[in-house]
Amino acid sequence: MSLDLDSRRRAMLAEMGLKLFEPPGVPGGDEAASHEPARPAGLKPATGGAVHVPAPMSIAREAAPESVSSRPGVGLMGWDALEQAVAACRACRLCEGRRNAVFGVGDRQADWLIVGEAPGENEDLQGEPFVGQDGKLLDNMLKALGLDRHHKVYIANALKCRPPGNRNPEPQEVALCEPFLRRQVELLQPKIILAMGRFAVQSLLGSADPIGKLRGRAHQYMGVPVIVTFHPAYLLRNLPDKAKAWADLCLAQEVMRAQPAAGAPAGR
């Protein structure tokens, strides 16, 4: 398969610290290392990595996980009511330390839904997801696809409140917050979901498998294809894996483009 990337995309790949080589191969799925984001993550200078673009893959059908919480009413809420419910939520103890619940940001008619893990300190302060160094990398990754966080993209987290000291979210916390994410998906009806990191995967797919095992094919959440990739904070610490992340983005774009247009039967 040959690549047909225009100069803008090449420039953005360079911005991500990636080089292009051809012919590309299918990315490996054999990462044994932890793919959890570093906390806190420091921005490191970009170094070159090689870009592999996967061949088209078939969509693997997987059932959406059941939440441990029924959360009556959430499934009927519109955007504003949902945002207010998140801001007022006291379902778990994360509410005790939050300065802001972080609902999500972006285009409510988005094709792309990016799902991260949980707010960190900056996000908790500003009330917006991915505003730190990992957010800058995410913005660059989106730019490489000709996207930005306000157009055709919506960004949300699996957890809406910051875990104290940026500790890992607990399974119960992920499960209690899942109905909010689920409703965001229902309202958005995105064409593609990009699940970044282990806790996004846990919430959307109910899977504890490593990222390396889940990459390279489309999963399903409520009928929407889900592509699994590394968390940006992990990529800041593991620069060679940026090439794999780029392959994941290319796969996501390919799967997204295969979805019915807005207004078609599955549209909004």
Closer residue to ligand URA in complex, CB, 24/112: 112
Interface segment toward ligand URA; rule CB under 6 A; list 13-21, 62-70, 84-92, 126-134: 126-134
Structure tokens at 238: 């593991």
Q: Please report the sign of the dihedral spanned by the C-alpha atoms of residue 226, residue 190, residue 241, residue 119.
A: negative
Nearer to ligand URA, 108 or 257 (CB): 108
Give the binding range for ligand URA (CB under 6 A) out of 7-15, 91-99, 128-136, 217-225. Answer: 128-136
Residue pair 127/101 in contact by the 8 Å Cβ criterion: yes
**Rule CB under 6 A: is residue 163 a binding residue for ligand URA?**
no
Please identify, using beta-carbon distances, which residue of 36 and 254 lies nearer to ligand URA. Answer: 36
Phi and psi, residue 210, nearest 5°: -65, 155
Q: From CA 4, how far away is CA 70, in angstroms rounded?
A: 47
Q: How far is the CB of 169 from ligand URA (least distance, A)?
A: 10
Q: 52 or 198: whose CB is closer to ligand URA? A: 198
What gap in Å lies between CA 135 and CA 114, rounded to an integer?
Answer: 12
Q: Which is nearer to ligand URA, 52 or 182 (CB)?
A: 182
Q: Which amino acid is at 214?
A: L
Using DSSP's 3-state secondary structure scheme, residue 266 falls into: coil
Instruction: Specify the stretch interacting with ligand URA by CB under 6 A; choose among 11-19, 20-28, 110-118, 170-178.
Output: 110-118
Alpha helices (runs of H) in 89-170, residue ranges in sequence order: 121-126, 133-144
Residues 6+ apart with CB under 8 A from 186: 75, 222
Query: What tokens appear for 191 in the block?
Result: 């064409």
- Of the ranges 50-58, 103-111, 117-125, 248-256, which one interacts with ligand URA (CB under 6 A)? 117-125
Residues 21-50 vs ligand URA: string with x where CB under 6 A? Answer: ------------------------------
Question: Pick from 12, 64, 145, 157: which binds ligand URA (CB under 6 A)?
Answer: 157
Question: Rounded CA gap, 236 and 44, in Å?
Answer: 6
CB of 92 to ligand URA, least distance (A): 17
Residue of this chain nearest to ligand URA (CB atom): 116
Q: Which residues are bridge partners to 50 per DSSP?
A: 19
C-beta of 24 vs 116, nearer to ligand URA: 116
* β-pair type (153-157, 112-116): parallel
Which amino acid is residue 191, in one-letter code? Answer: K
Q: Site residues (CB under 6 A) for ligand URA? A: 116-120, 123, 129-130, 134, 157
